[in-house]
Amino acid sequence: MQTLGIGLIGTGFMGRTHALAYRAAAGIFPNLPAPVLEMVADIDGAAAGRARQQYGFARATTDWRALVADERVQVVSITTPNVMHREMALAAIAAGKHVHCEKPLAPSVADARVMTEAAEAAGVRTQTGFNYIKNPILKLARDMIAQGELGEITGFRGIHAEGFMSDPAIPYSWRLDPAGGGGAIADIGSHIIGMARYLLGPITEVMADLDTMVKQRPAAFGSSEMRAVAVDDAARLLVRFERGMAGTIEANWSATGRAMQLGFEISGSRGTIAFNQERLNELQFFKAGGEPSRSGFTRIEAGPAHTPYSLFCIAGGHQLGFNDLKTIEVAEFLAAISSGEANGPDFREALEVQKIIEAAIRSSSERRWLAIES
């Protein structure tokens, strides 16, 4: 069986998720190249050493460039802050490596385009970390839309709301640095924007209102030094889709009490579907035209009929989780490398998402509708 040497840059939350996904993918999905955990890199040598031991990497380093250059590494996973993505990805691409990069792909459209064009010119496979759309129940939702079960689509309401930045005492960090791109709209808004595109296709216009609720934050935990915040805490978008309908998208990382309200409601002439990541194994479906006294939403529960659920469990109701979605994402990436055929969301799709983010930021500043560049 073909093997692929994996190099992981970054050992934080997402680094851990990538490592677990690579470890799980080959054991769950048949006929994949076997991922071999070759090297992990982190600027913190102790963190790199812990990750090497915990996840089973052969080697650890504090130098990500050494990882990229290593001949035993064929795949590079980048899980660092956004501002570092371009340099790392371009170095990996130049070395002929396949690249998995977390979202958002880059702080700007210009950077994302350079990364995308470099990867395509080099012929390497790429993947961007929009793992939530790998949910089998969302694949069902897209199929239902494509097959006309909802009729003509008339509206989309999407949201990604979390509360991890709701406390004003949370200190300033790389997430709040404008050099890294937008705030909530880029960090979590990229997920719901990508999900809207996955389900309904291209977005052509946007009118946005971005808001910074916490104007300054401590430089560090307990510090009296305050730093000004120049990125958004919440973004509210009106959008128009290429297919001819309109909708709304909200991103908010200061939504007190919300852990993971990533969801949508899509209305059509024949029915409606609704989803919330906090109940990620369920899709709500309303079919129009039924007996009024018995009308209402039906809960569709994920199970073996929804590929690839059955590879994880043979029975419905046992529930997939966040790490399982990342495992599906990694498995599809490994399959794309093996087949030589793109299986997104790749860098090209991430570039399209970045165009919407950048247009929304500009729209809010200029107080007008903007077309998404082609």
**pLDDT number for residue 341:** 86
* 16: Cβ contacts below 8 Å, ≥ 6 apart: 51, 55
Strand order in the sheet with 59-61: 59-61, 34-41, 3-9, 75-78, 98-101, 126-128
**Predicted confidence (pLDDT) per residue in 332-345, tens digit:** 999 999 998 888 89
Domain borders along the chain are 3-131, 134-343+351-366
Beta strands in 118-202 (DSSP E): 126-128, 153-161
CATH assignment, 3-131:
3.40.50.720
**Predicted confidence (pLDDT) per residue in 209-265, tens digit:** 999 999 999 999 999 999 999 999 999 999 999 999 999 999 999 999 999 999 999
Cis amide linkage into residue 104, ω under 30° from 0: yes
Average pLDDT in the chain: 97
Say how many residues make up the chain: 374
pLDDT at residue 1 is higher than 70? no
Q: Do 3-131 and 134-343+351-366 have matching folds?
A: no
13-28 helix and 45-55 helix, angle to the nearest 10 degrees: 20
Instruction: Decide if 247 contacts 156 (C-beta within 8 A).
Output: yes
**Predicted confidence (pLDDT) per residue in 165-185, tens digit:** 999 999 999 999 999 889 999
Alpha-carbon gap, residue 116 to 111, rounded angstroms: 9
**Predicted confidence (pLDDT) per residue in 30-78, tens digit:** 999 999 999 999 999 999 999 999 999 999 999 999 999 999 999 999 9
CA 13 to chain centre: 14
CA 116 to chain centre: 16
* 116: Cβ contacts below 8 Å, ≥ 6 apart: 105, 126, 347, 348, 350, 351
CATH assignment, 134-343+351-366:
3.30.360.10
Tokens for 168, please give them. 């004003």
**pLDDT number for residue 141:** 98
**pLDDT number for residue 342:** 82
Point out which residues pair with 160 in neighbouring strands: 251, 262
